[in-house]
């Protein structure tokens, strides 16, 4: 599958995936959308899932089979505040637009945290059918997708300390880090890093943009810091540039993004 930016995941052409924060979202066919959740969930790691669900429910396209894979979530990987965010930002939009999902396939349940997530899904009474599976490969066998491709992509993207994950970690630590400095930290020549990222279906510029905007969104939800300060903290010298790229990604201004989060949390 082709690795794309989060905002392009649900574009008409399928065979796409996105990963970050030990999380992977995959769209192997036009009729299937999947999410493999990380080992430890937080409000930050749920943000990409919520963003894709928001786009899914507002677009008038074919209803999709939704695969929610929680089989990697560790026993202590989901606390009550995070579970509350999962209900508010993932389940509630689906409950309001049940026609956007044809059916759900829920994978996991072997730990308390996994059972809590699946239980929240079931108790939400979302208006479409669901089936429980112990393993992702068994669930994929029920769908008309290339299971080997999906499983291979999940394993590759979520492997510990993969190159893309290491690049994202460097940017997260210093959003203003330069490409050559990052390559030096990874003990790679700049051309080698550029080539390796291309082979992973991404670029330095794209990863830097993704991480910066994810950090900005987190700060908007968790702090009262002004947009100018957030822009500086996530590596933007120009507030105007930050406002432009933020609106391109999320469809609203930082102020509106914060207001929407506060309204949902009240």
User: What string of DSSP letters covers 106-126?
Assistant: EE--SSHHHHHHHHHHHHT--
Residue 12 has pLDDT above 80, yes or no: no
The 3 state secondary structure assigned to 17-86 is EEEECCEEEEEEECCEEEEECCCCCCHHHHHHHHHHHHHHHHCCCCCEEEEEECCCCCCCCCCHHHHHHH
Mean per-residue pLDDT, 192-215: 88
Mean per-residue pLDDT, 199-204: 83
Mean per-residue pLDDT, 225-230: 95
Q: Which residues of 139-165 are buried (b: 16+ CB within 10 A; e: fewer)?
A: bbeebebebeebeebbebbbeeeebbb
- Delimit the domains of the chain by residue range: 2-157, 163-265
Residue with tokens 């406002």: 243
Copy the structure tokens of residue 206.
Answer: 């794209």
| 37-41, 88-92, 131-135, 185-189: the lowest-pLDDT one | 185-189
- The pLDDT of residue 159 is 67
| Superfamily of chain region 163-265 | Homeodomain-like (1.10.10.60)
Residue 266 has pLDDT above 80, yes or no: no
Mean per-residue pLDDT, 91-114: 93
Helix axes 239-250, 204-222, angle to 10 degrees: 90
Mean per-residue pLDDT, 181-204: 86
Residue 199 has pLDDT above 90, yes or no: no
- The pLDDT of residue 5 is 82
Q: Taking all residues of the chain, what is their mean pLDDT, rounded to a whole number? A: 89
Residue 61 has pLDDT above 80, yes or no: no
| Residues 11, 4: Cα–Cα separation, whole Å | 10
| Superfamily of chain region 2-157 | STAS domain (3.30.750.24)
Residue 160 has pLDDT above 70, yes or no: no
Helix H or strand E segment including 234? none
- Phi and psi at 187, nearest 5°, equal 55, 45
User: What pTM was estimated for this model as a whole?
Assistant: 0.66
- The pLDDT of residue 4 is 83
- The pLDDT of residue 166 is 83
């Amino acid at each position: 599958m082709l690795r794309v930016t989060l905002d392009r995941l649900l574009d008409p052409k399928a065979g796409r995936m996105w990963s970050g924060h030990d999380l992977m979202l995959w769209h192997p066919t036009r009729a299937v959308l999947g999410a493999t959740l990380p080992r430890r969930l937080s409000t930050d790691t749920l943000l990409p899932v919520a963003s894709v669900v928001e786009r899914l429910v507002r677009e008038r396209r074919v209803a999709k089979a939704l695969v929610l894979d929680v089989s990697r979530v560790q026993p202590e990987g989901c606390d009550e505040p995070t579970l509350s965010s999962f209900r508010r930002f993932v389940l509630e939009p689906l409950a309001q637009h049940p026609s956007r999902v044809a059916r759900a396939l829920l994978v996991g349940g072997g730990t308390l945290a996994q059972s809590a997530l699946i239980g929240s899904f079931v108790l939400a009474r979302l208006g479409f059918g669901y089936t429980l599976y112990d393993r992702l490969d068994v669930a994929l066998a029920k769908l008309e997708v290339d299971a080997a491709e999906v499983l291979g992509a999940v394993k590759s993207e979520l492997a510990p300390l993969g190159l893309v994950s290491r690049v994202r970690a460097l940017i997260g630590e210093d959003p203003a880090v330069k490409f050559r400095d990052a390559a030096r930290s990874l003990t790679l020549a700049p051309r080698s890093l550029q080539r390796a990222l291309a082979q992973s279906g991404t670029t330095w510029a794209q990863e830097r943009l993704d991480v910066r905007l994810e950090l900005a969104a987190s700060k908007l939800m968790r702090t009262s810091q002004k947009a100018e300060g957030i822009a500086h903290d996530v590596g933007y010298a120009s507030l105007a540039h930050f406002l432009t790229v933020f609106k391109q990604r999320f469809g609203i201004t930082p102020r509106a993004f914060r207001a929407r989060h506060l309204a949902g949390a009240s």
